[in-house]
Structure 1
Amino acid sequence: MTKNKLTFKALLRFSALAVLIALSVFLAYEFGIIELFLNEEKLKNFIKSLGPFGVVGFVLLQAFQVVAAPIPGEVTGLLGGYLYGTFWGVVLSTAGLTLGSVIAFILGRIFGKPFVERVVDPMVLNKFDYLLHHKGAFLVFFLFLIPGFPKDYLSYFLGLSRLSLLEFTVIAGVGRLLGTILLSFGGDYLRHHEYGKFLGLAGIAAVIMVIVWLFKDKIERLLRIWHISRYRKNKQKK
């Protein structure tokens, strides 16, 4: 009887969350929020229209694009550098991205696997399922450093892991820095009409992305093998 009550409560909670998500998505499309993220000019005008609250608005926009994965974060990353320069672009983007990652992590932890399976791409779930068997904080940090890695999805997924909220917050904040710095530099170049530097930076980023894309599967396979073997050794010691 108790088990049935718990199952009913879990089902009720999950149903309420599903309705809330569906309503949020509907409102996002109805009021043009999704379109806003895909149009750099509209985003720029929106932030400027907030006046003194523009900084808070930008941080929340960065957080939202993580929670509403897979909305691309490149536009908001460039926007940060364009509006606030490289230094403050990095600071504000990092604050927003970390906040969004933590929210996704907490949602995954509170609502559990059924919710995460609804939000996260099944391929990501299957590929990184091994991360749930052992904490592996260093490995997760390394994965966050890889350009083009599905960090937004992983934030939800890691809510099911053994990582503490503090550990994840540090990993999410520091692990995204490289990409954030590059995007902020790019936005700052555009702000000062330094198109040659921007194209040079874009070229370097493109080369890195191609290299990562070519060797990503091998890198992920090696990391998976290393992680599992380390987990087994630690288990044998105990």
Structure 2
Amino acid sequence: MIKNVILKFIEFLKSGFKKVLQYKKCTIFAIFIFVFILISYKYYQYSYIVKDPSELKRVILTYGNYSILAFLIMQVIQVVVFFIPGEIIQIAGGYIFGTFLGGIISTIGISIGSLLVYYISRYLGRDFVKSMISKNKFKFFQKILKASAQVHMIFLLYLVPGIPKDALAYICGVSDVPVKKFIIFSTLGRLPGIFISTYFGNQMEIGQMSTLIVIAVVMVMLFLIGTLKGEKILKKITKKRH
């Protein structure tokens, strides 16, 4: 009797596993959406910690020897759940670990997150990315990447402040951009912004108010230029190449 029940249960598991494999893409999509929504909810629930560098430092350092790993995972999550402000996390990295180490950890975390996003979007396809990104942004970046030397444009897209860089990683995943070039040039484009942010965070921790004011003014100006004029600048560069 018990043996028959166990055998039936094993058969049930086997048939269930076969169905999961049969609808693998749908299953992965459902899992991704569930995790995305869960992390989004948790972020809004605890966003006050993320926005307070001293509180975030306290939380991260409670992990002791694993504090670097905890921050690295946070940085990866920030890239995947792209509406979480990356600059805040990078500033926190400088506040907690200093300019250099904070910048290195952020760069590694962002690169891992970007690689993960690239492969997720490549596997789940164009319709998935369109459901995640606004139609206008999707069309604009696809057009830019197709109409120009991709390597140069990837670098510029990630260099210009105000461009939604983490959302862009999803679009690159369904473009013709090879993964190696994507990681190399997106990372190079991000480096100045990452280290400016971590330096800002480090100066916050030290309390250098005059330096903070200068950096903040420059960062805000660059961000506004990138947000208001970034797309026009990129369009002009693309036209000059053709």
Please state which band the TM-score falls in when normalised by the shorter chain: 0.7 to 0.9
Which residue is equivalent to 2:46? 36
Shift of 1:63: 1.1
1:93-125 Cα deviation digits (max 9, x unpaired): 111111111111111111111111122222210
1:73 to 78, 86, 108: 86
Is residue 2:32 matched to residue 1:21? yes
Aligned Cα root-mean-square deviation (Å)? 2.4
Counterpart residue type for residue 84 of structure 2: I
Aligned residue for 1:128, secondary structure, equals helix
Counterpart residue type for residue 62 of structure 2: S
Q: Are residues 217 and 128 of structure 1, via their aligned partners in 2, closer, same or farther at CA, if it must alter by over 3 Å?
A: same
Shift of 1:209: 2.0
Q: Are residues 112 and 226 of structure 1, via their aligned partners in 2, closer, same or farther at CA, if it must alter by over 3 Å?
A: farther
Q: 1: CA distance between counterparts of 2:22 and 2:195?
A: 42
1:125-175 Cα deviation digits (max 9, x unpaired): 011222246761111111111011111111011111222211111112211
Q: Are residues 225 and 10 of structure 1, via their aligned partners in 2, closer, same or farther at CA, if it must alter by over 3 Å?
A: farther
Q: Are residues 169 and 26 of structure 1, via their aligned partners in 2, closer, same or farther at CA, if it must alter by over 3 Å?
A: closer
Q: 2: CA distance between counterparts of 1:18 and 1:64?
A: 17
Aligned residue for 1:176, secondary structure, equals helix
Q: What is the TM-score of this pair, normalised by structure 1?
A: 0.83
2:163 to 136, 140, 149: 149
Counterpart residue type for residue 19 of structure 1: A
Is residue 2:97 matched to residue 1:84? yes
Contact kept? 1:36, 1:43, Cα under 8 Å: no
Q: 1: CA distance between counterparts of 2:227 and 2:40?
A: 32
Aligned residue for 1:147, secondary structure, equals coil
Aligned residue for 2:83, secondary structure, equals coil
Q: Are residues 128 and 29 of structure 1, via their aligned partners in 2, closer, same or farther at CA, if it must alter by over 3 Å?
A: closer
Counterpart residue type for residue 107 of structure 1: I
Contact kept? 2:111, 2:187, Cα under 8 Å: yes
1:14-38 Cα deviation digits (max 9, x unpaired): 43233213321343356x3444355
Aligned residue for 1:70, secondary structure, equals coil
Contact kept? 1:105, 1:158, Cα under 8 Å: yes
Counterpart residue type for residue 155 of structure 2: F
Structure with higher Rg: it is 2
Q: What is the TM-score of this pair, normalised by structure 2?
A: 0.82
Unpaired stretches in structure 1, ≥5 consecutive residues:
1-8, 230-238
Which residue is equivalent to 2:205? 191
Contact kept? 1:40, 1:75, Cα under 8 Å: yes
State the aligned residue count. 220
1:215 to 229, 237, 241: 229
Unpaired stretches in structure 2, ≥5 consecutive residues:
1-19
Counterpart residue type for residue 31 of structure 2: L
Which residue is equivalent to 1:181? 195
